[in-house]
Structure 1
């Protein structure tokens, strides 16, 4: 009789599995509307490609893997993440946060470790996405996300300060410290020329949209700055020479003995890539383009799969792990990117630059790119959003400020961890207030001896955050008032966890040790199994001290009080 049911469930499970697989793969609907948006996508892709070029080279060098590794990652991972990822506007590639994690690993294991880590971390990301764990980012509170966004905006701005004043900084320094040091050691009057380029870019980027919203402000600003610097003969730093070609794909060289030592770093890299990519995609879904419209939803599970495949491919080409890059993604959206076409164009632009236009791009002033990113960073900081969060609740305001400050002071992973911890602790503190205990009067007419009976009503949430307070209240009240019988009403408990049940065990144990008989009333069906397994009922003086009716519990309590008085009365 069971066989037909099993057969019917087979096709259903298969259909669900195929549906899940389809949702994680590219679809024709990914390019719906491209006929309307292709112009904006093309301009945005060109702009982001030029902005991403020096960042890719710099991040490759900073990680220790080399400039070529950074460029390969921006091209290969950028292309595959655009096609397979879950966001329509996400731009992927090497990022500063990833460099912080990679640099010590590469220093310990050599430059080749970056490619192997990219493959290993990519496999982990694909597994996470296929397991549908991407939606865990939805549990990150809004104030933490906005604090992260604010902190990243500040970091992006501060990262450009050394370029803006033509002052090199020592690698590995905190971004804020490096910015201050750059300003202090700025080589005047050369720094004035760089600042002039930045000012021109910022002014052009802000003024061009007022002329016509569809004009590529960032691209025009970079062109104007490059032409101006060339015509005036300004002594400003340029992008400089680029790698001449891309390497052929190959498996990273490694030995079996390398895997145990790289397993931990690979998991750390995968965790960073997952968090940064999902948060970037989530932030990007709320960014508005030149038309004032937001970019729309994203698929977090597919985003993990796409980022995983992108990192695997980048590793095969000798690159490094990739993540969604909020700075480049923001430039993409602000420049008019509305579909995956823009991110694909960005990767193709970088590829074309390597083979066709490297000498021309090499002449772009780094200060011009700094100006573009400074404007982008400024637009990421929403004063209105910050005001709304700070004016909401104290715990949300604390989580917002703490996340933003720690993002700037340390890095985004530490910021997310501490921000989540702060939000969780403050939320638990609020939830703990929802769990209460109070002594109630005995219903109905009073009887002799009722003063020796205490009825306690436990309400709301009985979990680890509220358990200790409930325990103290019950035991303190019962011992102070000459109580001989305590009735614990549990019918109004909405939630009970193991700690809450253990607290009931402790309460019963303490009261019974003092000679107070404990009666339980109204244990709900969903809590009964937990109460039994933890041992609450076993601690009762008698297994029948469990009641469904308050009247029955009170009558039983009165009979206990009467029996306690009976010997003295007969004497």
Structure 2
């Protein structure tokens, strides 16, 4: 494929909107619906990250539209998400709000480069228990981050969400506690019960409106969102301080990795629950990278694909990416027409929205599925979740993958084996001097030592036949162990014959010295009968030599 063709595949085209003539009504309805749902989430995630409600709203608008146009999914909705808040909040707390635009653009460039380098399919290697454990950890962090606003107290000093929530609770004043908690409960109750009355009722919007009206009529002493800009800010290039950029490189890599993982997982889920066609993983990364870069120029946050908003978009009937564009335009209308009422929303109401959202991120059916699976998957799930909450998100994914890989290799090693077999056909005199071993499954670094010990322990034989035709996996360590085994047996005077070395393993076996370790190049066989006959001929010759020697001495 030429560079031009590869580039074209990563860019939007007319085919993205081919069904629009028939689907525009559904796309318009879906865009309006998901725009209403996205408004409180955008505001809440902006506040929770420390960037402010305006940054969340700007991100939902700019990144939502850019990702819709350039992304690789037809129905994905992008914007600020809880996972991004978790990793972004410590960056803003440590380096200040002036770091937001720079780290957002840096992370966007990294994601864009990953898409251009065709790294999109890498997310397919993340095991399911790791994904679910990561999601549980993210949900717990989002919930814990809302504790200060929900109780009307300042956030704790710790960068760990659990510790910060505990510190906030220690500073709770009963006199100021009641009203924020009441508003949280009102919003949560409406979000839970509204869909039961009608599936299309936007519980989060109704809950926030209700809480805002109650707080306004009763003049409750609760913190509000505050003034919002009445227009989209003009794009600007942030000042690039080389020292700050170097400091932010690590966080930018973390944000980029998280954005790529979350966006691709969301796109994959969207493709599985909709009939709008597959997604292009590499193009999705390009779109998300461009979305974050654009959001950074407007003072926004890093963006990712949002699973919850994407699911709402699909359920509302979206067929093309035009629905996600409409969602962004709806939010843009809020900026120009409704910032006054939005500024009066209590922060406790937004906390209620995020607390319910966090709880909904954890599916009881999924939990039962994970816990009802293998012990290895259960351990991987809990290890990932605990590390996500306790330490670091990307570290949690890395350790989760390492734990899953360990258990997978252990299972593979257990499924592999070396078995001694009887020689085929009728037995002949001298067959007791021939040992036939069959290698099964995988001969790799996790299983090679066991094979070496089993075959090396053989005694009182003259010929060993090693059957390798059933061997599915052979790595360099396994091949090297075979070479060492052959050398060791030959040194003891035992002739080694290898049968069934597959063509795909032949090059590796030659490179690490398996073939050189054989006494003769004819000791490599394709058929078992030929190998057995050759082994019997060795035994007969050895007996003949022994008999001739005995006659000579007599």
Q: Shorter chain as normaliser: what TM range?
A: 0.7 to 0.9
The residue that corresponds to 1:493 in the other structure is: 471
Partner of residue 274 from structure 1, selected from 247, 260, 265? 260
Partner of residue 414 from structure 1, selected from 390, 395, 414? 395
Structure 2: tracts of 5 or more residues without a match: none
1:429-448 C-alpha deviation (Å, 9 max, x unpaired): 11222321111122233334
The residue that corresponds to 1:48 in the other structure is: 38
Q: Are 1:140 and 2:130 an aligned pair?
A: no
Contact 1:249–1:316 (Cα < 8 Å) also in 2? yes
Q: CA 1:299/1:392 → structure 2, altered by over 3 Å: closer, same or farther?
A: same
Q: CA 1:314/1:19 → structure 2, altered by over 3 Å: closer, same or farther?
A: closer
The residue that corresponds to 1:118 in the other structure is: 104
Contact 1:276–1:323 (Cα < 8 Å) also in 2? yes
Q: Aligned ranges for residues 302-381 of structure 1 at < 5 Å?
A: 302-325=283-306, 336=316, 338=318, 340=321, 343-348=324-329, 350-381=331-362
Deviation at 1:428, TM superposition (A): 1.6
Aligned equivalents of 1:24 and 1:144: distance in 2? 35
Greater mean alpha carbon deviation, residues 332-341 or residues 374-383: 332-341
Aligned equivalents of 1:246 and 1:434: distance in 2? 60
Q: CA 1:14/1:300 → structure 2, altered by over 3 Å: closer, same or farther?
A: closer
Deviation at 1:373, TM superposition (A): 2.0
Q: Are 1:536 and 2:523 an aligned pair?
A: no
Deviation at 1:300, TM superposition (A): 2.4
Contact 1:94–1:325 (Cα < 8 Å) also in 2? yes
1:473-496 C-alpha deviation (Å, 9 max, x unpaired): 1112x2xx3222211111222222
Q: Are 1:436 and 2:417 an aligned pair?
A: yes
The residue that corresponds to 1:155 in the other structure is: 141
Partner of residue 405 from structure 1, selected from 372, 377, 386? 386
Contact 1:455–1:488 (Cα < 8 Å) also in 2? yes
Aligned equivalents of 2:241 and 2:357: distance in 1? 44
Deviation at 1:349, TM superposition (A): 5.1
The residue that corresponds to 2:280 in the other structure is: 299
The residue that corresponds to 1:205 in the other structure is: 191
Aligned equivalents of 2:326 and 2:172: distance in 1? 36
SS of residue matched to 1:273: helix
The residue that corresponds to 1:194 in the other structure is: 180
SS of residue matched to 1:191: helix
SS of residue matched to 1:48: helix
Q: Are 1:228 and 2:211 an aligned pair?
A: no
Aligned equivalents of 1:225 and 1:105: distance in 2? 29
The residue that corresponds to 1:93 in the other structure is: 80
Deviation at 1:128, TM superposition (A): 2.2
The residue that corresponds to 2:16 in the other structure is: 27
Aligned equivalents of 1:70 and 1:212: distance in 2? 28
Q: TM-score, normalised by structure 2?
A: 0.87
Q: Are 1:457 and 2:438 an aligned pair?
A: yes
Deviation at 1:15, TM superposition (A): 9.3
Aligned equivalents of 1:543 and 1:154: distance in 2? 63
1:348-379 C-alpha deviation (Å, 9 max, x unpaired): 45544555433322211111112222222222
* Number of equivalences: 546
Q: CA 1:26/1:95 → structure 2, altered by over 3 Å: closer, same or farther?
A: farther
Structure 1: tracts of 5 or more residues without a match: 1-11, 288-292
